[in-house]
Amino acid sequence: MAPVSARGPRLLLRRLREIMAEPGSAQTRLNKLVSVIASIMVAEVCSIYLRRAGNLLELFATEGLNPSAVHNTRLKQGEGLVGWVAETADAVNLSDAPSDPHFSYRPETGEDPYKSFLGVPIVRGGQVFGVLTVQNKTARQYAEEEVEALQTVAMVLAEVVAQGNLFDIAELDEPELRPDRPLAFHAEGLCEGVAVGRVVLHEPRVRVERMIADNPVIELKRLDDAIGGLRLSVDRMLDSSELDLTGEGREVIETYRLFTYDQGWLARMRDAINTGLTAEAAVERVQDDMRLRVNRLGDPLLRERAHDLDDLARRLLRHLTGDGEHEEELPPDAVLVARAMGPADLVDYRRGRILGLVLEEAASTSHVAIVARSMGVPLVGSAEGITDAARAGDPIAVDGEIGEVHLRPPSEIILAFEARRAMRAHRVARFARIRDLPAVTKDGVHIRLMMNAGLLFDMPQLHESGADGVGLFRTELQFMIGETMPRLADQTAFYKQVLDSAGEKPVVFRTLDLGGDKVLPYARWEREENPSLGWRAIRIALDRPALLRYQVRALLAAAAGGTLRLLLPLVSEVAEFNAARALIDREVERARLLSHPQPRQVLVGAMLEVPALAFMLPQIMRSADFVSIGSNDLFQFVFAVDRTNPRVARRYDPLNPAALTLIRQIVHSAAEASGELSLCGEMAGHPLDAMALIGLGLRTLSMQPSHIGPIKMMIRSMNAAEVSEFVVKLCGRTDHSLRTRLSAFAAERGIVLK
């Protein structure tokens, strides 16, 4: 068999284009296509298998096998060599196919004489549409050039099939491949609310209209020009003093700058053009190959690099299509859909009108989720595959409470979601009526309801929600959404604006809680095997004391004349807290010696997130002015569960007897030490969970501002003594979760949970 490089893969693509343009039935064109491929590749067999309903691979056309097998031979995914190619989404190249354990003999095909086998997947957008194969009687390994030529044809064939240019895709009888089918995603609700609108893709796929090149020299020049334009646009983003125009963080943009000079990436695209593809098709071909390799390896660092290269490829495609600088106006009913998004991206979009947000990669504690809750934008995360399925302008319905997303929904689904939205608006109106009423139980127990915040535009919600103050202000968000470390003057001005917005209400500033999933875009961080248990929060502050002192200096200046409340995150032992407090005291002394204005009072608290600190409550209460339970991390460590891992994140319930017993012991220890105790975390914002916490003796809860109305309504309908008696009894049980028992109790007592 002559090497295909000598025959020219461009000839394959040119003939493919001619066949596509010919009149005639789909079967006629497919028959011509396999005949041409076999001829040019000097193969004795060429076959196309396409997906059918039930994930079956049906022989649609062949040159060399028995013609009667067409539309009669079907293989399950994973069955035979063809099924293996579809399952792995990778090329299979064998010199002696019948001896391979994956080989499945089908007598009706008449493939007995053929030894060598090469099969490549027909892939588009991460979905396998089918398999393209060639076979020969001679036992030989196909050359790398031959494999690449067949992959190039398969890539073009996938685009042709998906766009319906070869035949009606409905003929495949595979609903999963139809681009206009309704889809439902049952994912993770990260921010409550209901949205019905139209899809806006955060980084929309650029539709490649022309796949086959007329002149490779021209295409190489177009690629070089686009790379030059891309580099200039990246440099302009980095030179800008504001957040970049497309909302990418500086770390990503810095990475883009390096990637635009990656000679390996550029060489692979140039090689693809030399096979006969257009510049746009070459970019897509290289990215598809890279995605498949990364998905097979499963390495998280490589996956991050893949996301960066995906974004870079989309930008490059825009430059190739002349759309590099275009910014589209958001429609009034925009629902953003994206694989992933940083907090700066969402802040940047706030200038438009966003009804909802759907992401493939986001957890409840990710910063984009925190920003979404601050903005009151319904958010659903872990909606795997939605970015490949969604098209700009598609109708979409989102429920951020239960994590339900309907893409291209039928009219009855839209009506149901509209009803949900109206019901939610009614609930919001009910909560607004009790905004200024105290959070007092029927038996006279007063509960302080504080709100969590992290950005300046959160602060108006302090008064709108009726919160008693800010129980947790996440200071790291200011550091994460900027391009550089905030200057001292900028930090001071920011913290002063926060305090001025709060007026007489207290604000608790948590010092920088960096590390883990919170990495500064302008800093270098070493990879850790288990970052949530690694170098983060107070551990960074003690190893880099200048960072903590720099922040405290700004906070002291901002709170001059008032009370400054600081909260140290992830304290594991009393000695650790004392060391950090000594650094704060040095800054207080420095301000005194320099005669700088300073607060009348500085209160320093410890965040109880590490179980070890629960056993040292009396001792920490002698050193700290207050303690705040961080329930998110505390229960992650108590149950040894990675809360960012969807396979285990929901395995354990905060209303487990062990969790409630631990909270009860913490409350008792704090009471014995006469210390001030509060809880901030996701469970504080859920009425049933909050009812249990109050029953265990907690009297200060901090939550997202949108949760304060429901929690206050629940409090005003409960009797604290009755709940306490019931919850304490439940702590001795061995149930997986006490949620059902607590719900039944609330229903019997008329406690409002919705």
Which pLDDT score is estimated for 245? 33
Residue pointed to by tokens 């917005």: 501
Give the chain's length.
754
Percent of the chain that is helix, strand, coil (3-state, to 5): 50, 15, 35
Active site annotation includes 680: yes
| Topology of domain 4-177, CATH | Beta-Lactamase (3.30.450)
Of the candidate ranges 29-33, 87-91, 119-123, 521-525, the one whose mean pLDDT is the lowest: 521-525
User: Please, which pLDDT band fits residue 585 given cuts at 50, 70 and 90?
Assistant: very high
Report the pLDDT averaged over residues 110-116.
Answer: 91
Of the candidate ranges 283-287, 317-321, 348-352, the one whose mean pLDDT is the lowest: 348-352
Q: How far is CA 601 from CA 578, 610, 625, 629, 714, in A?
A: 18, 28, 11, 23, 35
DSSP conformational letter for 600: S
CB 555 within 8 A of CB 564: yes
Residue 248 has pLDDT above 50, yes or no: no
Which pLDDT score is estimated for 252? 43
- CATH classification of 183-205+328-425, choosing from 3.30.413.10, 3.40.50.1370, 3.50.30.10, 3.40.1160.10? 3.50.30.10
- Give the strands of the sheet with 194-201, arranged side by side: 183-186, 404-407, 395-399, 194-201, 334-338, 354-359, 379-381, 188-191
Active site annotation includes 707: no
- Residue 412, class by beta-carbon neighbours within 10 Å (0-12 exposed, 13-18 middle, 19+ buried)? exposed
Torsions phi, psi of 120, nearest 5? Answer: -130, 145
CA end-to-end distance (rounded Å), the chain: 72
Residue 125 has pLDDT above 50, yes or no: yes
- Give the strands of the sheet with 56-63, arranged side by side: 74-76, 56-63, 45-52, 127-136, 116-124, 92-94
Q: Which residues contact 678 (CB under 8 A, 6 or more apart)?
A: 448, 450, 471, 626, 627, 628, 629, 698, 700, 701, 702
Hey, what long-range contacts does 365-368 have (CB within 8 A, 24 or more apart)? Answer: 365/517, 365/632, 365/643, 365/644, 365/682, 366/517, 366/644, 367/342, 367/343, 367/477, 367/480, 367/517, 367/518, 368/341, 368/342, 368/343
Report the pLDDT averaged over residues 615-626.
Answer: 95
Residue 439 has pLDDT above 80, yes or no: yes
- Residue 419, class by beta-carbon neighbours within 10 Å (0-12 exposed, 13-18 middle, 19+ buried)? exposed
Residue 271 has pLDDT above 50, yes or no: yes
Name the residue among 282, 393, 342, 355 with its Cα closest to residue 9. Answer: 282
Does 706 or 447 have the greater pLDDT score? 447
Which pLDDT score is estimated for 608? 97
Which pLDDT score is estimated for 139? 93
Residue pointed to by tokens 């196309």: 48
Which pLDDT score is estimated for 246? 35
pLDDT digits (tens, 9 = 90+) for 177-200: 455 668 889 888 888 889 999 999
Quick one: CA dihedral 744, 749, 753, 754, positive or negative? positive
CB 477: neighbour CB atoms within 10 A? 23
CA–CA dist 374, 550 (Å, integer): 27
Which pLDDT score is estimated for 199? 92
| Host H or E run for residue 553 | helix 545-558
Q: CA dihedral defined by 673, 677, 681, 683, rounded to 10 degrees?
A: 90
> Strands 183-186 and 404-407: what pairing?
antiparallel
Asked if 4-177 and 434-749 have one fold, the answer is no
Which pLDDT score is estimated for 60? 92
Name the residue among 630, 627, 611 with its Cα closest to residue 674. Answer: 627
Instruction: State the helix-helix crossing angle for 300-320 and 250-259, rounded to 10 degrees.
Output: 70
Which pLDDT score is estimated for 28? 86
CA–CA dist 485, 476 (Å, integer): 11
CATH number of 216-320: 1.10.274.10
Report the pLDDT averaged over residues 305-312.
Answer: 60
Report the pLDDT averaged over residues 346-354.
Answer: 64
Which pLDDT score is estimated for 730? 94
Which pLDDT score is estimated for 261? 74
Query: Which is catalytic among the residues 680, 686, 707, 731?
Result: 680
Residue 315 has pLDDT above 70, yes or no: yes
Which pLDDT score is estimated for 612? 96
Which pLDDT score is estimated for 304? 47
Q: How far is CA 273 from CA 92, 169, 297, 543, 693, in A?
A: 24, 28, 27, 51, 63
Residue 221 has pLDDT above 80, yes or no: yes
CA–CA dist 397, 377 (Å, integer): 13
User: Please, which pLDDT band fits residue 163 given cuts at 50, 70 and 90?
Assistant: low
Mean residue pLDDT across the chain: 83
CB 24 within 8 A of CB 108: no
pLDDT digits (tens, 9 = 90+) for 448-478: 999 998 877 678 888 888 999 999 998 887 7
User: Please, which pLDDT band fits residue 205 given cuts at 50, 70 and 90?
Assistant: low
Within 13 Å, how many C-alpha atoms sit on residue 650's CB side?
7
| Host H or E run for residue 199 | strand 194-201
CA–CA dist 111, 125 (Å, integer): 32
CA–CA dist 641, 636 (Å, integer): 5
CA–CA dist 739, 726 (Å, integer): 13
Report the pLDDT averaged over residues 9-29.
Answer: 77
pLDDT digits (tens, 9 = 90+) for 643-696: 767 677 777 889 999 999 999 999 999 999 999 999 998 899 999 999 999 999
- Residue 209, class by beta-carbon neighbours within 10 Å (0-12 exposed, 13-18 middle, 19+ buried)? exposed
- Residue 197, class by beta-carbon neighbours within 10 Å (0-12 exposed, 13-18 middle, 19+ buried)? buried
Report the pLDDT averaged over residues 28-44.
Answer: 90
Torsions phi, psi of 407, nearest 5? Answer: -100, 130
User: Please, which pLDDT band fits residue 243 given cuts at 50, 70 and 90?
Assistant: very low
Which pLDDT score is estimated for 335? 94
Does 251 or 554 have the greater pLDDT score? 554
Which pLDDT score is estimated for 343? 59
Residue 704 has pLDDT above 90, yes or no: no
Residue 718 has pLDDT above 70, yes or no: yes
The 3-state DSSP class for residue 195 equals strand
pLDDT digits (tens, 9 = 90+) for 408-428: 988 878 887 887 787 777 777
Report the pLDDT averaged over residues 492-499.
Answer: 94
Report the pLDDT averaged over residues 389-400.
Answer: 89
Does 10 or 699 have the greater pLDDT score? 699
Which pLDDT score is estimated for 41? 87
Report the pLDDT averaged over residues 320-340.
Answer: 74
The 3-state DSSP class for residue 100 equals coil
CA–CA dist 230, 325 (Å, integer): 10
Mean pLDDT comparison of 258-267, 535-544, 712-721, highest-scoring range: 712-721
CATH number of 434-749: 3.20.20.60
Domain boundaries, the chain: 4-177, 183-205+328-425, 216-320, 434-749
pLDDT digits (tens, 9 = 90+) for 534-569: 888 899 999 999 999 999 999 999 999 999 999 999
Which pLDDT score is estimated for 519? 62
Q: How far is CA 35 from CA 32, 42, 249, in A?
A: 5, 10, 50
Query: Which is catalytic among the residues 46, 191, 202, 367?
Result: 367
Does 50 or 484 have the greater pLDDT score? 50
pLDDT digits (tens, 9 = 90+) for 61-87: 999 999 999 999 999 888 999 999 998
